[in-house]
Amino acid sequence: MKMKIILASKSNIRINLLRNAGVQFTSIGSSYDESIVQAEYMKVEQNLESIKTLVYKLAHEKAQSISKDHEGLVIGCDQVLFFNKKIFLKPKSVQESINQLKDLNGNVHNLVTSTLCIKNEREIWCHIAVQEMKMRKLNDEYIHSYIKSMNDHIFSVLGGYEIEGKGINLFEKIGTDLFTIQGISLLELLMFLRSEGYIK
């Protein structure tokens, strides 16, 4: 009997990564409102450990909200961009996106990603990863041109970039795990699923 797997996300990137790996699963978006917790973290300076706590909490709550109503293994994920003691969320306006890219311009920032599994409302596995990203030096003209080329998609990605698309052009160096950078620690997750008999 095949055990049911649920991804607590409607992210096309996460869905495609998991699907391309041959995992059979259902995607269900979580109703958990992460904005309240995020707002609290934006009020004060943060450090890497507090950001790890944040992404863990968000991933856990998303998966938990699905596990309450659905049987099976629920995969929860969350990601936060951390730079200069503060978190960056998806930009809500063109100006905010410009400001974010100007801040990140020529600097190193971290993408902190949590991937975990919950079954019967109990967490059974968790992996938190930090990826170091270095943006190349960009002039204002390039930043404006890039944002214009992204259209409204700029509002659906952290820091206004996605590494698997045009966003790769913003970088001088990226971290070592492309899957984690894209929002899910896929290799570690597949190892866990294999060890528990969910996949072969």
Q: What residues pair up with 127 in beta bridges, in sequence order?
A: 115
Going by DSSP bridges, is the β-strand pair 86-88/122-135 parallel, antiparallel, or unpaired? unpaired
The dihedral of CA 6, 12, 16, 18: what is its sign? negative
Q: Which ranges of 152-185 would DSSP assign to H, the alpha helix?
A: 178-181
Is residue 140 part of the annotated active site? The answer reads no
Which member of 33, 69, 78, 103 is catalytic? Answer: 78
The count of residues in the chain is 200
Angle at Cα 143 formed by Cα 165 and Cα 96, nearest 5°? Answer: 95
Instruction: Give me the active site residues, please.
Output: 78
